[in-house]
Amino acid sequence: MKKLSSKQKSILTAAAAFLICMVFLYPLYWLIVTSLKTEVDIFKSPPSLFPETVSFNAYLSQLKSGEYNMLNAFYNSAIISVSAMVLSTVLSIPAAYGLARFRFKGKKLFILSFLVTQMLPSTLVLTPLFIMFNNLQIINTYVAPILADSTIGIPFAILILRTYFLSIPKELEEAAKMDGCNHFTAFIRIMIPIAYPGVVVAAVFSLLYAWGDLIYGLTFINKSSMRPITAGIYNFMQQYGTSWNSVMAYGMITISPVVLIFIFMQKYIVSGLTNGAIKA
């Protein structure tokens, strides 16, 4: 058999990539289409790939005030996610820098402990966290899920930022010290600006961890008006499980921030993950 030319290989690669992309995007497409259909169109047999009548009633009905108000749940998730992201990022940056630049006893064991926390399921720490938060009287407040979500984001952010700081030459810090900077000023003025892509990656993933959390929002907040959007859709499906267009509309609003973040931040995410993978 003759070898394929470079042009034919490019065409086959593009076709394979297109097919894989379609497979992964089809559930998202079906989510959007179902949210725009009427109840009659949804239960037609065979199902249609396009809505015969485009309807936004599923979205408009959820903007009204009620127990499962979409805007209120979105607001709750925004407060919890952004706060957890800020807390995780602020604490992770100096911790990762210290693990990358300083030597101390038990350093490898300390780093290994962060890796172990990534393997533990959230249910394992759920009971100890509930007891602690209950003693601190922060159950049914935003503080409880913010702190709980930070326990997920901080270890991952430290591991990402540590490898990123390791990839930055030490000569830059030494040059800054020769110009009159100490450890702190060199860290603020030199290291953080250079590690900006890694910081963005850590912040983005901390935000996504908190945004997609369900178990902490359900456990630490009993008031439906304060629960995040993931807990809201869980309760919404229990009550309106047969109203698939409303459920899909709720799901579409839930994933929209995640999709937008990856679209507009993909350059920083790819740069942060690849540059931070040079050294372990």
Residue 236 has pLDDT above 80, yes or no: no
**110 located within any domain:** yes
Instruction: Identify the pLDDT of residue 47.
Output: 77
**Is residue 10 included in any domain, yes or no?**
no
The domain total for the chain is 1
186 in any annotated domain = yes
Residue 168 lies in a domain: yes
Question: Could you tell me if residue 94 is inside a domain?
Answer: yes
Q: What is the mean pLDDT of residues 37-54?
A: 79
Reply yes or no on whether the pLDDT at 80 is more than 90. yes
Is the residue at 267 inside a domain?
yes
Instruction: Give the mean pLDDT of 131-158.
Output: 90
CA distance 52 to 194: 52
pLDDT for residue 234 is more than 90: no
164: CATH: 1.10.3720.10
Q: How confident is the model at residue 273 (pLDDT cuts 50, 70, 90)?
A: low
- Establish if 226 belongs to a structural domain: yes
Mean residue pLDDT of the chain comes to: 81
Q: Is residue 65 part of a domain?
A: no
Q: In terms of residue numbers, what domain contains 196? A: 71-232+257-275
